[in-house]
Amino acid sequence: NDILENTLIVFLNDNGGPIYTGLQNNHPLRLGKLFLFEGGVRVPMIASWPAKLAKGKTYSKTTSSLDLFPAFCAVGGIQIPDTLHLDGINLIPHLTGEKTAAPHRTLFWSNGPNKAVRMGKWKLVKSGKNPWLFDLSKDISETNNLAKEKPDLLEILNGALQKWLNEMAPPAWPSKPNRREFEIDGVIYQLNI
């Protein structure tokens, strides 16, 4: 039977710790749950599948929880129809080493008035019109805003983000009127709670 040997088990969280409870520490990542900074969107993922995945291996390329559905379908032998567009990809060939390229070129997030895009090592976070641009390869804590220093890169990331937003359907849930504002680096960050 070897059920455990042939079962893919995945453990992860959907967001960083909630800073508004005072019970979290996302250090060295900035902020936490509900924010689009790394403390809110970067979480560990643990996968175990003894029959297919090497034990004790660390996979350091950026992935998304959106990748789980396509991966589970592939593991279960379920063909995803070509007409169904998914934002996630099948991670299994990446985790086994069959594919060595990064699974994602670009990742996007949207939460009320807050938007973010990550393209390789670069990440743009926006709250309304206020931009933060970070080089995550050198600044995982997102403390050095490069938006004013790199206007060309800011324009590229903002263009990719706007294109993605234009392709998205409006959220199926209503926006909560309970909005709080936080000052971050002298800029107001709006948050729906």
Q: What is the largest CA-CA distance in the chain?
A: 60
CATH number at 83 reads 3.40.720.10
Closest C-alpha to 184, from 126, 135, 138, 136: 126
pLDDT tens per residue across all 193 residues of the chain? 799 999 999 999 888 888 777 777 888 999 888 889 999 999 999 999 999 999 999 999 999 999 999 999 999 999 999 998 888 999 999 999 999 999 988 999 998 888 999 999 999 999 877 899 999 999 999 999 999 999 999 999 999 999 999 998 877 766 666 667 777 777 777 776 6
Q: Is residue 1 part of a domain?
A: no
pTM of the model: 0.85
Structural domain count, the chain:
1
Relative to beta strand 106-111, strand 45-48 is: unpaired
Q: Is residue 2 part of a domain?
A: no
Q: Is residue 98 part of a domain?
A: yes
User: Which pair of structure tokens corresponds to residue 105?
Assistant: 């070129």
Give the span between the Cα atoms of 31 and 13, in whole angstroms: 16
